[in-house]
Amino acid sequence: MKLQNYIQGQWVTGDGEGSPLYDGANGEIVGYASSKGLDFGDMLAYGREVGNPALRKMTFQQRGRMIKALALYLHERRKSYYEVSYKTGATKADSWVDIEGGIGNLFANASLRKKFPDQPYYVDGEMANLSKEGSFIGQHIMVPKEGVAVHINAFNFPIWGMLEKCAVNWLAGMPAVVKPATLTSFLTEAMVRDIISSEILPEGALQLICGSARGILDHVMSQDVVTFTGSADTGRMLKASPKIISEAVPFNMEADSLNCIVLGKDAAPGTEEFDLFIKEVRREMTTKCGQKCTAIRRIIVPENFMEDVEIHLSKALSKTTIGDPRVDGVRMGSLAGPKQVEEVKERINTLLETSQLVYGDLDQITLVEGTNKNGSYMSPILMREDAPFTNTGAHEIEAFGPASTLMPYQTTDEAIELAKMGKGSLVCSIATHDNQLAREFVLGAASHHGRILILNRESAPESTGHGSPMPLLVHGGPGRAGGGEEMGGMRGVKHYMQRCAIQGSPTTLTEVTQQYQYGGTYKDGGAHPFTKHFEDIEIGETIITAKRTIIEADIVNFANVSWDHFYAHTDITALEGTIFEQRVAHGYFILSAAAGLFVHAAKGPVLLNYGLEECRFTKPVYAGMTIGVRFTAKEKIAQEKRDEDDIPKGIVKFLVDVYDETGETVAIATILTMVKRRLELK
């Protein structure tokens, strides 16, 4: 079988025989991959000219719904990918992380749309007042870049590696060209075929290169974004490409790193944390046969616990059943291919020049019955380095397989120093039930790590573990780890957008952003907004309410109803030395009184008011003062129906500006209302 590339809207077979791809579990040829004859410049131009405009004109809500639909489509077909995944040497558990973890990433990013506006762009942060009278302001907006995201991925996660990146660039409004590692590209191709067949994505939103992509970076432009996952050496070489430098192309690098785990000094043998530590290390050494960018390579242990850890960890590793992932009972599969085995063994032998082997065998391995010995199998390898400050190989050399090195420390400061000697990593863990020790370690080591997991008896039952990056948190790390960040919720989406500061009057910027900017001209909507359907409400339309004079009885009565008897509201003898001149009205009473002024009582399209997005009380209100409300439509976000019985609706955010008799604001808040739509979303 010869894999195909998906380019410019069609499946294309590369010229020539192509590179052979092997089943890691039995050594048989799976197929061949070639990209010879493809024009990478045309591919990128197609993404920019076809895919980019289609995605850019969609709103965040539309993109999010698109990603959700794709996630549901792939989830229905997920079982078909497992048989293909076994050929990469992955067990069912390994494949679950890659396949269902990748699809889960789509779901997570689809849900992230709720944090973005119902617009093709994003209004970033708060308005900046740039003038004395408020007639000149500034605001940041973010728009999708007008290029294509080029994703150069590693061989260890052929599906997750693609989906965790594409979910983000699609939500941002950019198309992607995916270049999986050729070694396991047959699994990526299987899923991309389904993605294209679904017709859920607009044309040009996704292209695939299964063979070599050497030279593709010669065609990137300033509006493109390049991401790389793989070895630090390769990443640095690509980052130095002339076009990357001359065009100032954003380059996000996530490199394999020498991640570590630390056993806290309190986590003695017999404690829950000690047992959790052993379990976590064993899992990280054997999951995906150690072929993970987040795998534990350095095991940092209190000097007096070294023997105990060596014994317990060796015992745990001895229970690992190794073999073809299609055979029942196998807990660790194979490496991706024979070249990986050769490279890992070479690195281990270099490490053993100063360390000692305490578990495993580089030449002998026991395989589960029914396993083809031609597969790329290895025993878990545990080494011990007793002089980690002198012999630094374990901090510099990575064996990208089921291999880790034990090393001792005496003080927490030494543990921190050893953790940092990896020169930057994706993730570090510490097993401890001492929260002060955890604080000391995190503050000391965080500068050198992208993520730190604190593992103890409280977090363990629901912990996703050392090796699992999560969509809402950043994945990346400083130094050797590449200095990049992926995912991270909204942070990851912004990576594919251009931030631009815009300046002008509040009225003009309201029209540009379609979010009401404080100080902008009020619009007369002709009727109370609570009498209007979602589609009929216009951003900036405002009602100026009737007024209400606050009296002493209001303050006393609210204290009795709310049980808020704070002295400033109830004890006028206690006000000396405070900022208050007399008994002050409760801030929440002022907000409640404001609602009484702006709410339209009759039944209408407004379904409910379900919360506040922000609220500040800016000036004391005393008995005798009169308040009114400037009530302005600030932002609108359409919502899809959850099911057939749901009501078509959208969210309208209203600015509640409460002012006193001098016209000065005393409280300001944004309320969220759910409002009926006339029509369903298409």
Catalytic site positions: 254, 293
Q: What whole-number distance in Å separates Cα of residue 448 and Cα of residue 33?
A: 38
SS3 255: strand
Tokens of 154: 């590693």
Rg (CA), the chain: 30
Beta strands in 303-413 (DSSP E): 356-359, 381-384, 403-409
- 336, 291 contact by CB (below 8 A): yes
Q: In DSSP terms, which residues pair with 645 in a beta bridge? A: none
Strand order through the sheet with 10-12: 10-12, 5-7, 206-208, 176-179, 149-152, 225-230, 251-255
Q: What angle do CA 162, 476, 153 make, to 5 degrees?
A: 25
Q: Which residues contact 436 (CB under 8 A, 6 or more apart)?
A: none
Tokens of 572: 């006028």
Tokens of 551: 């009296």
Proportion of the chain in helix, strand, coil states, percent, rounded to 5? 35, 25, 40
| 428-431 and 259-263 strand pairing | parallel
SS3 641: coil
Element (H, E) at 507: helix 506-513
Provide φ and ψ at 180, rounded to 5°.
-70, 160
| 176-179 and 403-409 strand pairing | unpaired
Tell me how crowded residue 646 is: count the other CB atoms within 10 A of its CB: 11
The size of the chain, in residues, is 682
Which residue type occupies 81? Y
* Distances, alpha carbon 219 to alpha carbons 144, 145, 147, 568, in Å: 20, 16, 12, 67
Handedness of CA 46, 34, 100, 427 (dihedral sign): negative
